[in-house]
Amino acid sequence: TGRLCSLQRCFACGERGACISCQAKGCSRSFHLPCASKHGCVTQFFRKFKSFCWEHRPEQTVQARPEPDTTCIICLEPVEEQISHTTMVCPACKGAWFHRTCIWGQAVSAGRSCFRCPHCNNKRKFVPEMLRMGIFIPLRTPAWEEEGAYEDLNERHSWCNASQCLSRQGRHQVEESGPWELLLCSSCASKGTHRRCSALGTAIDTWECDECAGLGPGKRP
């Protein structure tokens, strides 16, 4: 209850108000959430949201040891010489080593739909193991999609790239038909031209920019 939590002391800092208790049988340790992460405790962010103190927290049982000078696959900084609370390994490939804080950051960014081993792309074994070890994986789409990182890919090129644009209204004048209709390069679609600027008649429906047609700098038609 709230009253009981207000009286419980945190085993880490000694202050009252420790509302999280270790779920291991016979353990009476309680702690604040900020103190938990600082002192190596683990909270599992799924189902019953169980928490464990540093002595009873879950450990990886993967039979693997990093080679000498192994670095974290995410930050490229050295990892410890064996599996620990801060040094983790992929249970599937056993070749991807990473720091707890690094894989946590990747999990938060990727979300449940895209989170997987950064080395072997395994998801079936990797995700349950990370959840068991207390890695928070939010149930949402990847952060890079929410932030619109790829919105530019959906934009259609919209101006004339002819060396000399003949439009009095400028390169951004675009009409549905006629001399100021904009044709995009049929190969790259990243450059365009007005029909008049490239002397393209109404019977011509395709056009290639100089680079795609092999007429770039130093090349001859």
Q: Give pLDDT tens digits along the chain (221 positions).
A: 556 677 888 988 989 989 899 999 999 999 998 888 888 999 999 989 999 999 999 999 999 999 999 999 999 999 999 999 999 999 999 999 999 999 999 999 999 989 999 999 999 999 999 999 999 999 888 887 765 555 655 678 899 999 999 999 999 999 988 999 999 998 888 899 999 999 998 888 899 998 888 754 433 33
Question: Where a domain ends, among 114, 135, 150?
Answer: 150
Is the residue at 98 inside a domain? yes
Is the residue at 135 inside a domain? yes
| Domain of residue 27, residue span | 1-52
Place of tokens 């792309």: 121
Same domain, 72 and 36: no
Is the residue at 89 inside a domain? yes
Same domain, 76 and 3: no
Is the residue at 76 inside a domain? yes
What residue type is 11 in one-letter code? Answer: F
CA–CA gap between residue 80 and residue 105 (Å, rounded): 19
Task: Specify the CATH number for the domain of residue 5.
Answer: 3.30.40.10
CA–CA gap between residue 125 and residue 183 (Å, rounded): 50
Same domain, 72 and 26: no
- What predicted TM-score, i.e. pTM, was given to this entire model? 0.64
Number of domains, the chain: 3
